[in-house]
Amino acid sequence: MNARSRPTGEERPLDMKAVLTTIKNGMAHFQMIEPLVCQRYVLALLFLKYVSDQVEAGNLILLPPHSKFHVLYDQREAPHIGPLLNIAINEFVRANKGLDGLFKDMDFEASAGISVDRWRHALQKSLECFNSLDLKTPWPNLINEVYGQLAAKAEKGTSAFFTPPDVANLITELLEPKSGETICDPACGTGNLLLPCASFLQKKGVRDVRLFGQEIFENHWMVAKMNLFLNQCPGRLEREDTLWYPQLVDEKGDLLKFHLIVSNPPFSLNKWGAENAEKDLYNRFHRGVPHAGGTDMAFLSHIVETMDPETGRVGAILPYSSLTRKGSEKNIRQALIDENLVDAVIGLPNKIFINSLFVAIVILKKQRPDTSILFMDATEEFKPGKRNVLTEAGASRIVSAYQSRRSEGQFSRLVPRNEIGDDAGLNPHFFLDN
């Protein structure tokens, strides 16, 4: 898609409230199906409407004639509107390599047990809802922002976190993606950590952006595919359980290795499969098996095994509990320290995620030139609000301290490996308060 749309006269300002109202009205017509399934249908229609409006505005997107929203809207009362929508979406997906597999499990014909007339009426009214939107102004994060609003309500109190932009951008600045590097997120959600890495490279004029990701939840994966497409960042995104069915493998079935890995894995989910870890085909848990609720450390164990042996770098967001837990997880942490993989641990402000307390960014690196670990306490570097936001000055301070690896009062300290004992774990407060 061409990032610069051609001027088409006066353009109406973007209005998220109007979009969300339209989404709500559209979903109201699909109350006969499950809410999560309903989300897929309305997001698919919103996606098609946005792309169609962008094409009308002059952006270069491959959109077959039958797939244009106004063509479908004009036929909304046709008895075969469901099959027409199927054809429109399938032709659009086939025309664009980056969308392969998207919507493959969706069928706009009447579902089993639902009246054909009622379903047709829902499609007709939804097309009328979305037709009222003017989306000709470029808005590449539209689908992601809308889905974030929907998921915030549907998933309140769950472990399905969206990485805030301030944190995602900070991780990108710390890891500094380079041209030609492979970038992966094994629990990619909607792509919120992958996109800043791609943007970082694109701003430097790099076109060889190589993104990889895997996501277990269908709606998250679907939005990630659309999100990357709208931001001109093609990538390979797989849908499955990373811990037990990793899809990012080579032709021999071995785990792919990546130069840069970013991740905000699920926090402390129960029953991730710890009882089967010793039989893991990829031997990812040889340092120890995290306990049944230790999903974060299970993902970290997976991540370490997918690091490029020469230039592999990791930026992972982990809860503070994972930095100090005893038992097998203490053994995992110690093994990572002994292998000289732990480069830095950066404590972030409280409520940087609305539904969580303290978290930290753990940076791992292969082929480190020294054995010290940089600990940072950035818990005061925020602007207060419903969600505390990392300030620009705070982010700059973190990046500067990390790049210089300097000790700075109660903010940062470079700790020799022989000073990191069992009691401390990888807790930044322990080393900066003593």
Tens of pLDDT, residues 216-249:
999 999 999 999 999 999 899 999 999 999 999 9
For residue range 92-136, list pLDDT tens digits in order. 999 998 899 999 889 999 766 789 999 999 999 999 999 999 999
What is the number of residues in the chain? 434
Run of H or E residues at 410: none
Average pLDDT over residues 359-377: 96
Q: CA of 288: how far to CAs of 273, 274, 302, 317, in Å?
A: 14, 10, 12, 20
Indicate whether 177 pLDDT > 70.
Answer: yes
Given a contact cutoff of 8 angstroms between Cβ atoms, the answer to whether 24 and 35 are in contact is no
Distance (Å, whole) CA 264 – CA 243? 14
Helix (H, G, I), strand (E, B) or coil at 274: helix
Indicate whether 157 pLDDT > 60.
Answer: no
Q: Which amino acid is at 306?
A: T
**pLDDT confidence band for 14 (50 / 70 / 90):** low
Run of H or E residues at 67: none
Given a contact cutoff of 8 angstroms between Cβ atoms, the answer to whether 363 and 314 are in contact is yes
β-bridge pairing 313-319 and 260-263:
parallel
Q: Which amino acid is at 219?
A: N
Q: Which amino acid is at 71?
A: V
The token pair at 324 is 């100090």
Q: Which amino acid is at 140?
A: P
**pLDDT confidence band for 161 (50 / 70 / 90):** low
Beta strands in 153-311 (DSSP E): 182-185, 210-215, 235-239, 260-263
- Give the lowest-confidence range in 29-38, 183-192, 253-262, 268-277: 268-277
Distance (Å, whole) CA 85 – CA 91? 10
DSSP-derived letter for residue 375 is: E
Q: Please classify residue 115 by burial: count the beta carbons closer than 10 Å to its beta carbon, then call 0-12 exposed, 13-18 middle and 19+ buried.
A: exposed
Distance (Å, whole) CA 262 – CA 187? 9
Distance (Å, whole) CA 228 – CA 225? 5
Given a contact cutoff of 8 angstroms between Cβ atoms, the answer to whether 378 and 397 are in contact is yes
**pLDDT confidence band for 271 (50 / 70 / 90):** confident
The token pair at 63 is 């959109």
Beta bridge partners of 210: 182
- Rounded mean pLDDT of the chain? 91
**pLDDT confidence band for 359 (50 / 70 / 90):** very high
Q: What is the pTM of this model?
A: 0.92
**Where does 29-80 have alpha helices with state H?**
35-56, 69-74
